[in-house]
Structure 1
Amino acid sequence: MADMARTLATERTLDAVLAEVTAAAVELIPGVDTAGILLITPGGGFESLATTSDLPAQLDVLQMTFDEGPCVQAALADTIVQTNDFRLESRWPQYSPAVAEIGVLSGLSFKLYTGSQTAGALNLFGFHPRDWEPDDESTGAVLAAHAAAAIMATQQEQQLQAALLTRDRIGQAKGVIMERFGVDDVRAFGMLRQLSQEQNVKLVDIADRVIGTRES
């Protein structure tokens, strides 16, 4: 755990960090044979990441098909979802028998979240029934916290980069207007904002149009 914390403090890609989390889950938690991460996408869909085998992605497809299952429930509702034996599980009447038929009999899912933001779920599966222990849940929760922190940090970095790019484009557009019409910075921004409001178009899109007139 300490090694992983130090690893996350260095510059690593998100894919590498998540792959280390799922691999660690298989190594550290008894009864876990395969693991993966179900990520909530901006459009409200789901994406399978860092799977240790093809199986977690296959199980994610089943959950999306049936609109039920522990991974979706952990991603959208409960913090931890535990299943000792899918053959006896009644919470997901379509998903449970389908999973058991594939050969997956137990599961443990953890919500990936920081504060009020939810990113998805860390999902662990076993090929045998398993009475999950408190230590299993504790280890999984720590791994889930690492994964959530990495996902949120990446999303925040992407948002910052997008904001900086937007600011740069608006700045370029103001420069074009100032040069073309002989107005100051404040007036140029006011003209951009007025066009945005009148045409009901995002300010950055108006800026791109203005820049395009110079580039053409």
Structure 2
Amino acid sequence: MDLTGMHEELARVVVHDRELDEVLHDITGIAHRAMPGCDAASITLVRAAEGHTAAYDGQLALDADELQYAEGYGPCLDAGRAGEVLLVRDTRTEDRWPEYTARAAERGIGSSLSLPLPFQYATVGALNTYAVRPDAFSDEDVARGEEVATWVALAIGNAESSSMTNQELRDLRTAMVSRATIEQAKGVLMERYRVTAEQAFTLLARASQHGNVKLRDVADELVQTGVLRGATRTR
């Protein structure tokens, strides 16, 4: 599917007066077909810091997502929580989430791309694509995925706009504060160690996983105290 074809398919998806899971299923299928290297795709939604798979196209994607939910961390969760595009080029050598990626490699997952959903009401999450082979996703795939993620967020926003609750509003504010804190923490590390934004996020992710502490809590501690728990300078 070329870019024009992807736009045409997305434009044909009806988002009004339909169940959200039906809409997300359609969009997930388009994401799967739009990326040549993709073998499976899914949408992770995060509420109150817990993730679940709202739609998937291909069992490989559901298996990968559930491995991450069981661990409590991984690219599909951290992409949504931190607002980061997270590309795993090779699960056999990826060291940001070593326990998850080792298990993913055993399941036949070679690489993945997780893209954060733009904020829409009380929901945050990520669009995930998975491939059997390593290095399956290009810069063009990232650009396509970001466009699809926007449509996912639109569909969710339409479904939720008339049913916002106080708890959902609190969840949204928490999510926004978490992303802002993570960005501040990245800035601290970039200035301190003269590293890129991607390298700074890697340091936070490693500290989160090694200390078994939520990513947002690691970031908040760094911003408040200047200390990154359990991490060493890594380039």
Distance in 2 (alpha carbons) for counterparts of 1:31 and 1:3: 19
Cα separation, partners in 2 of 1:64 and 1:3, compared to 1, 3 Å: closer
Deviation of 1:79 after TM superposition, in Å, equals 2.8
Cα separation, partners in 2 of 1:125 and 1:12, compared to 1, 3 Å: same
TM-score of the superposed pair, with normalisation by structure 2 = 0.62
Higher radius of gyration, 1 or 2: 1
1:121-145: CA deviation from partner (whole Å, max 9, x where unpaired): 1110000012522210111111110
Unaligned runs of 5+ in 2: 1-6, 166-235
Provide the residue aligned with 1:13 in structure 2. Answer: 19
Distance in 2 (alpha carbons) for counterparts of 1:156 and 1:79: 25
Trace 1:137-216 onto structure 2 (pairs within 5 A): 137-159=142-164
Provide the residue aligned with 2:108 in structure 1. Answer: 103
1:17-36: CA deviation from partner (whole Å, max 9, x where unpaired): 21111111111101100011
Provide the residue aligned with 1:2 in structure 2. Answer: 8
Trace 1:13-52 onto structure 2 (pairs within 5 A): 13-41=19-47, 43-52=48-57
- Checking the alignment, whether the CA contact within 8 Å between 1:34 and 1:56 is kept in structure 2 is yes
1:56-87: CA deviation from partner (whole Å, max 9, x where unpaired): 22222211222221101101013311111111
- Checking the alignment, whether the CA contact within 8 Å between 1:36 and 1:124 is kept in structure 2 is yes
- Checking the alignment, whether the CA contact within 8 Å between 2:91 and 2:105 is kept in structure 1 is yes
Unaligned runs of 5+ in 1: 161-216
Q: Secondary structure at the match of 1:87?
A: coil
Trace 1:79-90 onto structure 2 (pairs within 5 A): 79-90=84-95
More deviation, 53-62/80-89: 53-62
1:82-116: CA deviation from partner (whole Å, max 9, x where unpaired): 11111110000100110000000100001112368
Deviation of 1:12 after TM superposition, in Å, equals 3.0
Identity of aligned residues (%): 32
Distance in 2 (alpha carbons) for counterparts of 1:50 and 1:116: 19
| Count of aligned residue pairs for this structure pair | 159
Distance in 2 (alpha carbons) for counterparts of 1:9 and 1:102: 34
Q: Secondary structure at the match of 1:35?
A: strand
Cα separation, partners in 2 of 1:86 and 1:5, compared to 1, 3 Å: same
Provide the residue aligned with 2:72 in structure 1. Answer: 67
1:154-206: CA deviation from partner (whole Å, max 9, x where unpaired): 1112228xxxxxxxxxxxxxxxxxxxxxxxxxxxxxxxxxxxxxxxxxxxxxx
RMSD: 2.0
Q: Secondary structure at the match of 2:49?
A: coil
Q: Secondary structure at the match of 2:38?
A: coil
Provide the residue aligned with 1:122 in structure 2. Answer: 127
